[in-house]
A = this chain, B = another copy of it.
Amino acid sequence: MSESLAVTERSRLRRLHERGAHDRATIDAILDAQPLCSVGYVMEGKPYVTPTLQWREGDHVYWHGSSASRALRAGKGTEVCLSVSILDGFVLARSGFHHTVNSRSVTLFGTAFVVEDPAEKLARLAAFVNHLFPGRYEGLRPDHPQDLKGTMVLGLPITEGSAKLRSGGPNDEPEDYALPIWAGVVPVSLQIGAPIPDPRNLPGVSVPDHARKPRIG
């Protein structure tokens, strides 16, 4: 793996480039912190965005869905733009113009491919479950072959894209600091709740450690 992505015409950070990054460590940390992503693609010349979950394995991100999904069919060997974004807080400034958000985001560009080999597909889906809940997959009922057939797994090499990050307090105009206006940050974060057992769990089956906290955030 190269440590930084090459800067291309579409991944070059034009605005507020001081908040941007092309290094893999920054990009990977954001991908690993937030599974929710938006996959953008073009169908008959029109834009489509599908929310789904992504997971990273090494130099690739993967996502999945039903083989019947038009979004995934359209993604087969076609260009996508995959976006992950995390809202960390609202930045309240002394003017409306300087209000902003603290956030972390990654945008990736590339051609999605379909994971066709059944054994590899199974391995990727197992990795997906274990990515969020380490060790869970091995304790599950093994997948049925027909389930695997109904699931499409797509991959995207992490080769073109960028990260963007903003943190800290407001940046106001110098003269505005003299105004008696409250400024600051209202943090937001993802909270993991206590696991809610299925009422149909068998007696004596206790909550596994992995269910107490998915590996996100």
B-contacting residues of A (Cβ < 8 Å)? 10, 14-15, 35-36, 38-42, 45-51, 53, 66, 68-70, 79-83, 85, 87, 89-90, 92-97, 99, 101, 103, 105, 107, 109, 125-126, 129, 132-133, 136-137, 139-144, 147-148, 151, 169-170, 176-202, 204-208, 211-214, 216
Question: Within the assembled complex, what's the spacing in Å between the Cα atoms of A186 and B192?
Answer: 7
* Residues in chain B near residue A50, CB distance under 8 A: 83, 107
- Copies of this chain, whole number: 2
Question: Within the assembled complex, what's the spacing in Å between the Cα atoms of A127 and B213?
Answer: 37
Question: Within the assembled complex, what's the spacing in Å between the Cα atoms of A49 and B142?
Answer: 36
Question: Within the assembled complex, what's the spacing in Å between the Cα atoms of A32 and B215?
Answer: 28
Question: Within the assembled complex, what's the spacing in Å between the Cα atoms of A181 and B142?
Answer: 12
Known: A38-B38, A47-B80. A182 touches B211 (CB 8 A): yes
Question: Within the assembled complex, what's the spacing in Å between the Cα atoms of A176 and B205?
Answer: 14
Query: In this complex, what residue of B is CB-closest to A137?
Result: B96
Closest 5 CB pairs of A and B: A187-B193, A40-B49, A51-B85, A38-B38, A97-B147
B169-A48 in contact (CB<8A): no
* Residues in chain B near residue A83, CB distance under 8 A: 38, 49-51
Q: How far is the CB of A199 from chain B (nearest CB, A)?
A: 7
* Residues in chain B near residue A53, CB distance under 8 A: 101
A89-B169 in contact (CB<8A): no
B214-A188 in contact (CB<8A): yes
Question: Within the assembled complex, what's the spacing in Å between the Cα atoms of A148 and B97?
Answer: 8
Query: In this complex, what residue of B is CB-closest to A83?
Result: B49
